[in-house]
Amino acid sequence: MYSFIRYIGSKHRLSKAIAERLHATGRDCLVEVFGGSAAVMLNAHFAKRVYNDIDGDLVNLFRVVADERLRPLFLRRLRWTPLSRRIFDEQGAIYAAGTHSFAAIGDSVERAAATFYRQALAFGGKMRSGGFQVSPNGRSSIKEVGKHLDNLRHLVRFGEFFRQTIIENLDCLKIVSIYGDMRDTVLFVDPPYPEIQRYYSHVLSDSEHVFLAHRLREISAPVICTFYDCSMVRDLYPEREWIYEIFDSTKNAAVRKLGSQKTKVAELILTKRNRNP
């Protein structure tokens, strides 16, 4: 199942490989520490799920979609809003001001609609920095229009999925501490990579990366991580403690010349070794 939002760093193309490694741990509750678009969770087929992200806009969007009272208001708001660069730019001004607190139902629905709208049209899923994207080379319609309308048609299905999911809005260290020693959990960790984390609303400092790696080693739950290969990752996640696998992936958000191939990149899937074999 495709996520209904595009997101920088989404793991949809690797979701099958990641899901196989998650299920191989024998645990039956998936905890996504950096949930993002939930691309892995939507394709991993876990009955017990915990979605977490520190980005309040994403969490508010999933909360509204999952709420049977708010979803009709959300849909009504979007069905009558045309896809327009002017509106896209107006929504961008909201994000420049940062996430506000959602004191009223109307506020949360409007914010969720703005998040969804912005994701539908931002280049490469770069919601806060990507420009207005239009791809007129589709067979029967402009790609972004077709995808946007298709997502609206399937919104009830997405909503029911998240209605049966625990939705958290905590920083990564807090969520690891809460769920990391529970008997049935397996953690999927896809942090902002050092090379691209400037595109996210919240970034991890080098010290936070260090603390995260330390906590992941300490907890008893199995952990699957994804990263680009770099010296920092090799230092923080040594091969004596982690199994390294390399997969070819593509950078959908990379700027490329018309007609050229998408940029290929080697992506790591790391599996924490069992400390008590």
Q: Considering the entire predicted model, what is its pTM?
A: 0.86
User: What pLDDT was estimated at residue 277?
Assistant: 45
Domain carrying residue 231: 1-54+170-277
Last residue in a domain, options 164, 187, 213: 164
Q: How confident is the model at residue 184, as a pLDDT?
A: 97
Say if residue 24 is in the same domain as residue 81: no
Is 196 found in the same domain as 267? yes
- pLDDT value at 256 more than 50: no
C-alpha dihedral (30, 33, 34, 38), degrees to nearest 10:
20
How does the average pLDDT of the chain come out, rounded?
Answer: 85
CATH number, domain of 180, equals 3.40.50.150
Asked if residue 71 and residue 160 are part of one domain, the reply reads yes
Angle subtended at Cα 59 by Cα 61 and Cα 12, rounded to the nearest 5 degrees: 85
Are 137 and 230 in a shared domain?
A: no
Lowest mean pLDDT among 40-44, 92-96, 185-189, 257-261: 257-261
End-of-domain residue from the set 135, 164, 193 = 164
Position 3 scores a pLDDT of 84
**Is residue 240 located within the same domain as residue 260?**
yes
Say whether pLDDT at 163 is over 70. yes
**pLDDT higher than threshold 90 for residue 169:** yes
Q: If you write DSSP's letter for every residue of 145-190 in order, what string do you get?
A: HHHHHHHHHTHHHHHHHHHTSEEE---HHHHHHHHTT-TTEEEEE-
pLDDT of residue 128: 61
- Residues 186, 274 within the same domain: yes
User: Each residue of 102-152: pLDDT tens digit?
Assistant: 445 568 898 888 888 888 888 766 666 667 888 887 667 788 888 888 889
Residues 276 and 174 in one domain: yes
Q: E strands of the chain, at which residues?
A: 29-32, 48-52, 166-168, 185-189, 223-228, 242-251, 263-272
